[in-house]
């Protein structure tokens, strides 16, 4: 019990001591807090005073700037008003001066008008006096000459008319002579200018093409066993194959450029492939023929691009490409047409005509030479009918028709085409008559052979010394073949003028094919 009392007493004493200490510490904290609060309040009041002063300064500064701005605007408006006032004063002064000038001019006009009236009156008086004097002089002249004034006037008019006619005739003659002289000089200048601008590497068509070989061993494969391959190649292509000592090359000879080109492409394909035998030769030749349309189109497009012509139909482009394998008097027809086109374009430009139409007409003027069923006599009409369906310009159509036909030209363009044609043909070395007669003779040999029934193909080879004819085996037997050779030889002797003996070879082949 005593322990509990002691503990209780200790607790009470401790509580009292704690309360006393806490009271003392609380008073000190309160005093410190009051001091801090007073310090914070003083600092806040100081900050407020400073902020207030700053705001007042900013407001004063802004008010000052606004005042300055208003004063500047006021000064500017005042200056503007002064300027307007000065302008108005200047205008008033100008108006006053102009009014004075107008008044002065009115006075001058009045004075001038009065002077003019006086002069007019004086001139009228003089005119009357002159008319009276002229009338008196005319009466005296009539009395002296015995002619009335009307008769004298008629005589004078007749004399003047006759003199004017003589002078006019002389002037017309002089102008005509000058025009003729100038026309000749101008025509000579234009043609020479056109010829100078055309740089044409003209080449004479050859009858031989060269095929390069990778080695001379290939010649043996081309000839084949006992000449089997070379004979098959000549029969299929219709050209002569010349195998001589020329290193790594064989020659293909034929007067027809198209036939020779087919043979060349076939030979190149066989050499590249390496397989050469009769069946492969026929296959390669047929393949080349089937691809020639694309080849013609490529040639035509290249030619048109070089001379700056576009917009032709594909059929015209292909047909134009065929002209590369046509020659006339030893002159390549496509090269000739290109030259005529360029010359006609230059001549048209010199004469202020449509150069594009002239070039189009020039490149197409001989297209009828390769149109089916056309010949030398009607190629212009055939070419006209061929291109007409593709909607070409009527001037171009007329130029094509007028070149080889008697159709009248409807514009100067056809005449320019004929002039360009003459320039191209008459150049030294452009044409060779001997080659043309040679080609015509070989064509005549083939035409004579083709006129017989049963003839499938005929080829004039060996420079016209042999005609090789391929016939259908089911239309002729051996006896008929012998008789056909005799008949063809007789017709050739009758129709073709030749001093040499011509060999007629009939080839009749029967082939059976089967597959195992």
Q: Which residues contact 401 (CB under 8 A, 6 or more apart)?
A: 380, 381, 384, 407
Of 239, 273, 307, which residue is a domain's last? 307
Mean pLDDT of the chain: 77
CATH number at residue 316: 1.10.3210.10
How would residue 189 be classed by pLDDT, with cut points 50, 70 and 90? low
In a domain, 378, yes or no: yes
Of 307, 336, 360, which residue is a domain's last? 307
- DSSP state, 226? G
How would residue 311 be classed by pLDDT, with cut points 50, 70 and 90? confident
In a domain, 13, yes or no: yes
Q: Tell me, yes or no, whether 98 and 221 share the same domain.
A: no
For the chain, helix, strand, coil in percent to 5 are: 75, 5, 20
Q: Tell me, yes or no, whether 345 and 318 share the same domain.
A: yes
Q: What angle do CA 481, 484, 489 make, to 5 degrees?
A: 130
Residue 308 has pLDDT above 50, yes or no: yes
Q: In this predicted model, what pLDDT tens digit does every residue of 355-385 receive, in sequence order?
A: 888 888 888 888 888 887 766 667 788 888 8
Q: Tell me, yes or no, whether 287 and 367 share the same domain.
A: no
347 and 419 in contact (C-beta within 8 Å)? yes
Residue 430 has pLDDT above 50, yes or no: no
Distance CA 411, CA 417 (A): 11
Residue 1 has pLDDT above 60, yes or no: no
Strands (E) across 358-476 are located at: 455-461, 466-471
Q: In this predicted model, what pLDDT tens digit does every residue of 261-279 receive, in sequence order?
A: 888 899 998 888 888 888 8
Residue 10 has pLDDT above 60, yes or no: yes
Q: Tell me, yes or no, whether 140 and 2 share the same domain.
A: yes
407 and 400 in contact (C-beta within 8 Å)? no
Q: In this predicted model, what pLDDT tens digit does every residue of 458-514 receive, in sequence order?
A: 777 766 677 777 777 677 777 777 777 788 788 877 777 766 678 887 777 666 656
b/e burial code for range 330-363 (CB count within 10 A of at least 16 → b):
bbbbbbbbbbbbbbbbbbbbbeebbbbbbbbbbb
Distance CA 376, CA 380 (A): 9
User: Residue 197: how many CA atoms within 13 Å on its side-chain side?
Assistant: 17
Q: Tell me, yes or no, whether 151 and 235 share the same domain.
A: no
- Number of helices (H) and strands (E) in the chain: give both, helices first: 14, 8
pLDDT, average across residues 51-60: 83
Q: Tell me, yes or no, whether 441 and 417 share the same domain.
A: no
Strands 331-332 and 249-253, by their bridges, are unpaired
Q: In this predicted model, what pLDDT tens digit does every residue of 345-355 receive, in sequence order?
A: 888 887 788 88
Comparing CA positions, the residue from 238, 221, 234 lying closest to residue 274 is 221
b/e burial code for range 429-450 (CB count within 10 A of at least 16 → b):
ebbeeebeebbebbebbbebbe
* pLDDT at residue 146, as a whole number: 60
Q: How far is CA 312 from CA 304, 309, 369, 392, 399, in A?
A: 9, 8, 18, 9, 17
Of 307, 328, 362, which residue is a domain's last? 307
Which position has the higher pLDDT, 113 or 177?
113
Out of 28-42, 220-234, 455-469, the most confident range is 220-234
pLDDT, average across residues 30-37: 74
Task: Indicate whether this model's pTM tops 0.75.
Answer: no
Q: In this predicted model, what pLDDT tens digit does every residue of 205-219 receive, in sequence order?
A: 566 788 888 888 888
In the three-class reduction of DSSP (H, G, I as helix; E, B as strand; rest coil), residue 173 is classed as helix
Residue 433 has pLDDT above 60, yes or no: no
**In which domain, by residue range, is 266 found?**
198-307
Number of domains in the chain: 5
Which position has the higher pLDDT, 456 or 314?
314
Q: Tell me, yes or no, whether 131 and 211 share the same domain.
A: no
* pLDDT at residue 34, as a whole number: 73
Q: What is the DSSP string of 40-66?
A: HHHHHHHHHHHHHHHHHHHHHHHHHHH
Q: In this predicted model, what pLDDT tens digit does every residue of 98-114 receive, in sequence order?
A: 888 888 888 888 888 88
Residue 66 has pLDDT above 80, yes or no: yes
pLDDT above 70 covers a percentage of the chain that reads 76
Out of 159-168, 249-258, 452-461, 472-481, the most confident range is 249-258
In a domain, 514, yes or no: no
Q: What are the backbone angles phi and psi of residue 359, rounded to the nearest 5°?
A: -65, -40
How would residue 203 be classed by pLDDT, with cut points 50, 70 and 90? very low
How would residue 17 be classed by pLDDT, with cut points 50, 70 and 90? confident
Distance CA 348, CA 190 (A): 10
* pLDDT at residue 332, as a whole number: 81
């Amino acid at each position: 019990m005593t322990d509990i009392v002691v503990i209780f007493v200790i607790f009470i004493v401790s509580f009292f001591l704690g309360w006393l200490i806490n009271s003392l510490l609380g008073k000190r904290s309160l005093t410190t807090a009051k001091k801090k609060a007073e310090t914070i309040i003083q600092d806040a009041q100081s900050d407020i005073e400073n902020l207030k002063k700053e705001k007042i300064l900013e407001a004063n500064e802004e008010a000052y700037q606004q005042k300055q701005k208003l004063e500047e605007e006021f000064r500017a408006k005042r200056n503007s008003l002064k300027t307007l006032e000065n302008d108005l004063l200047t205008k008033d002064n100008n108006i006053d001066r102009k009014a004075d000038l107008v008044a002065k001019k009115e006075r001058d006009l009045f004075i001038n008008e009065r002077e003019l009236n006086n002069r007019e009156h004086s001139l009228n008086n003089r005119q009357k006096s002159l008319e009276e004097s002229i009338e008196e002089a005319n009466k005296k002249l009539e009395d002296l000459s015995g002619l009335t004034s009307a008769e004298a006037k008629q005589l004078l008019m007749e004399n003047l008319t006759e003199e004017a006619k003589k002078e006019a005739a002389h002037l017309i003659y002089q102008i005509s002579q000058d025009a003729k002289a100038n026309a000749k000089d101008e025509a000579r200048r234009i043609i020479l200018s056109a010829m100078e601008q055309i740089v044409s590497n003209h080449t004479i068509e050859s009858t031989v093409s060269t095929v390069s070989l990778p080695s001379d061993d290939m010649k043996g494969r081309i000839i084949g066993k006992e000449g089997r391959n070379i004979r098959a190649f000549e029969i299929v292509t219709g050209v002569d194959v010349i195998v001589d000592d020329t290193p790594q090359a064989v020659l293909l000879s034929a007067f027809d450029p198209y036939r020779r080109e087919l043979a060349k492409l076939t030979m190149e394909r066989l050499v590249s492939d390496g397989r050469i035998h009769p069946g492969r030769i026929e296959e390669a030749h047929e393949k080349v023929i089937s691809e020639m349309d694309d080849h013609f189109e490529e040639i035509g497009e290249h030619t048109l691009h070089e001379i700056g012509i576009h917009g032709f139909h594909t059929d015209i482009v292909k047909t134009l490409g065929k002209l590369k394998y046509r020659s006339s008097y030893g002159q390549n027809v496509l090269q000739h047409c290109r030259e005529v086109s360029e010359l006609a374009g230059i001549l048209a430009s010199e004469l202020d005509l449509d150069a594009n139409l002239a070039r189009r007409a020039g490149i197409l003027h001989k297209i009828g030479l390769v149109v089916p069923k056309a010949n030398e006599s009607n190629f212009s009409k055939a070419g006209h009918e061929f291109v007409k369906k593709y909607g070409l310009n009527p001037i171009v159509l007329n130029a094509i028709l007028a070149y080889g036909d008697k159709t009248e030209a409807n514009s100067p363009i056809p005449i320019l085409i004929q002039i360009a044609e003459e320039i191209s043909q008459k150049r030294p070395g452009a044409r060779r008559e001997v080659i043309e007669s040679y080609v015509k003779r070989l064509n005549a040999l083939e035409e004579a052979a083709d006129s017989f029934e049963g003839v499938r193909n005929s080829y004039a080879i060996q420079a016209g010394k042999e005609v090789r004819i391929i016939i259908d085996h089911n239309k002729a037997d051996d006896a008929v073949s012998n008789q056909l050779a005799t008949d063809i030889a007789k017709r050739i002797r009758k129709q073709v003028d030749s001093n040499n003996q011509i060999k007629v070879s009939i080839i009749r082949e029967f082939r059976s094919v089967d597959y195992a």
